[in-house]
A and B are shown apart, each in its own frame.
Chain A
Amino acid sequence: MECVFGMVGKGFALVVADSSAVNSILVHKSNEDKIMVLDSHKLMGASGEAGDRAQFTEYVQKNVALYHYRNGIPLTTKAAANFMRGELATALRKNPYMVNIVLAGYDKETGPSLYYIDYIATLHKVDKATFGYGSYFALSMMDRHYHPDMTVDEAIKLDDQCIEEIRSRLVVAPQNFIIKIVDQDGAREHSWRRTTKD
């Protein structure tokens, strides 16, 4: 029931995630922030098993920070994505992390980029990515309406269409969604889409 999706636009990348923390039929929390700000210009939207999600994303965040301290320069988005994939791959045959990640970043040299990282350590650089049951609805909508170099308003409009579709078609749709954006000014929270107040 967890939905995470993202897309690349003109000079920015967006990540949208639902914000429900669920235990079988019970919704414990509907304002859980699942998009972690990895560093100043990287966003990581994660979905999957509760403990794995928090532990793996924090582990990656701290290691990215450590690289920055040791070497004086931050990792590029591509390097961070490959680091994550490597960690997932190493753990896969022993103690797998059940987390799916959409990594969005902005680098000065290469601009915005989006990476699709699966729980079995698949890595793809993409323009649009989706995870979860919501992906069945959101992916085709994005395939149809997405075009390269969208503006922020066009991308937000497409995201809203995807969220509406998920809300109306998915049997146990998440109540609230959070949208975060990363561009040359950094990674920050953009807005929420709520149906319930927590």
Chain B
Amino acid sequence: MRSTTTGSNIGSQVILLFKKSLSHTFNLLSVKSNALTICSTLLDQKVKIMKFDFSGLESSAPLYGLNNELLSDGFSAAPSFDLPVTSDFDDFQKNSIQMVKPAKGTTTLAFIFKDGVMVAADSRASMGGYISSQSVKKIIEINPYMLGTMAGGAADCQFWHRNLGIKCRLHELANKRRISVTGASKLLANILYSYRGMGLSVGTMIAGWDEKGPGLYYVDSEGGRLKGTKFSVGSGSPYAYGVLDSGYKYDLTIDEAAELARRAIYHATFRDGASGGVASVYHVGPNGWTKLSGDDVGELHYSYYPVEPATVEHEMTEAVVA
């Protein structure tokens, strides 16, 4: 719809109401644009007041015959569809929205400690009950000193993190200094806010080291942005929080912090069906990020809980042949 027609739209809605009071049967499921065309033609015949330019409103959809009686006087029929047969239309709307809403089936976590930021994630991608991949990279390298985590729609996260990386580089070139974690997270949050309500699904954490030291922000597709020291995102996050909160201290060494992160991811993958695969752990320090480890969670399970050899009560031996 061209912007020039919006002004006339309001006027034509008034005419529509006026016309409804005049005429008899008029199909209410018709698309507004065709209704306005009908209005204007009728108006031309009866009262010549205003001529509106509706050329921008012509719908290109094929005509569906509604009632041939209406078609007989040369008006174009409005494209329409049958409403779904359901007793509860409101729930139907809610359910259909729920169906397309992608669940954030993952576990990611990040926390700040005295030596920087520890970032960890699983690597399972699931589509409902089907595991589509066990080797997804959920920690995205935005630039050599900033990491982003992926939860929600994979495409959304990958694309917008890549886009954020571009914007950060442009900022560096324009201002001759690296962008701060605060600035980068705000850029992403503003972009996601502008697409609010349009179906993006992103639950990410931006972790980095800038002039002010380690920084960690949680940004999501609803437009929320939180600064914090400890976050976990995804369907497995409550499980990870439990392990993370009980073992966290600011004064952990790098190895202890890595083990805490790995353990938290492992416990989340153990209980949450949508998380699994490989637990990757990254560390962001003053010189940028480094990947510390990537362990299969199945192997982690047996290293944490080794199988005890079963005690044998009766040992079977060969029967002595007389």
Binds B, one of A48-56, A84-92, A117-125: A48-56
Q: Give A118-145 as 1s and 0s: 1 = Cβ < 8 Å from B's Cβ atoms.
A: 0000000000000000000000000000
Nearest chain A residue, comparing its CB with the CB of B225: A54
CB nearest neighbor in B for A21: B226
B226, A29: Cβ atoms under 8 Å?
Answer: yes
Closest chain B CB from A48 CB (angstroms): 11
Using A51-B189, A55-B193 as known contacts, say yes or no to A26 and B237 having CB atoms under 8 A apart: yes
Chain A: interface size category = 10 to 19
Interface residues of A in 46-90 (CB under 8 A from B): 49-52, 54-55
CB contact under 8 A between A50 and B241, given known A28-B218, A28-B231, A55-B193: no
Contact with B along A171-198 (1 / 0, CB 8 A): 0000000000000000000000000001
B228 within 8 A of A: yes
Cβ-defined contact, B224 with A54, below 8 A: yes
User: Is the pair B238, A51 in contact by a Cβ cutoff of 8 Å?
Assistant: no
Give the size range of B's interface with the partner: 10 to 19
Q: Which residues of B contact A21 (CB under 8 A)?
A: 224, 226
Chain B residues lying within 8 Å of A39, measured Cβ to Cβ, are none
Taking the closest CB of chain B, its distance from the CB of A115, in whole angstroms, is 25
Q: Which of B190, B192, B226 contacts A28 (CB 8 A)?
A: B226
CB of A50 within 8 A of CB of B224, answer yes
Q: Does B223 contact A (CB under 8 A)?
A: yes
Report the minimum CB–CB distance from B160 to chain A (whole Å).
Answer: 15
Is A165 part of the binding interface, using a Cβ–Cβ cutoff of 8 Å? Answer: no
0/1 per residue, A18-46, Cβ < 8 Å to B? Answer: 00010101101100100000000000000
B contact residues around A198 at 8 Å (CB): 229
Measured CB to CB, the closest approach of chain A to B184, in angstroms, equals: 16
Interface residues as binary, B213-242 with A (CB distance below 8 Å gives 1, 0 otherwise): 000001010111110110100000110010
Complex interface: chain A residues within 8 A of B238 (CB): 25-26
Q: In whole angstroms, how far apart are the Cα atoms of A24 and B82 in the complex?
A: 36
B196 on interface, CB distance cutoff 8 Å: yes
The answer on a CB contact under 8 Å between B228 and A26 is no
Is there an interface contact between B223 and A54, defined as CB atoms closer than 8 Å? yes
12 A-B pairs with CB atoms under 8 Å apart are A21-B226, A23-B224, A28-B226, A49-B222, A50-B220, A50-B224, A50-B226, A51-B196, A51-B222, A52-B223, A54-B189, A54-B225
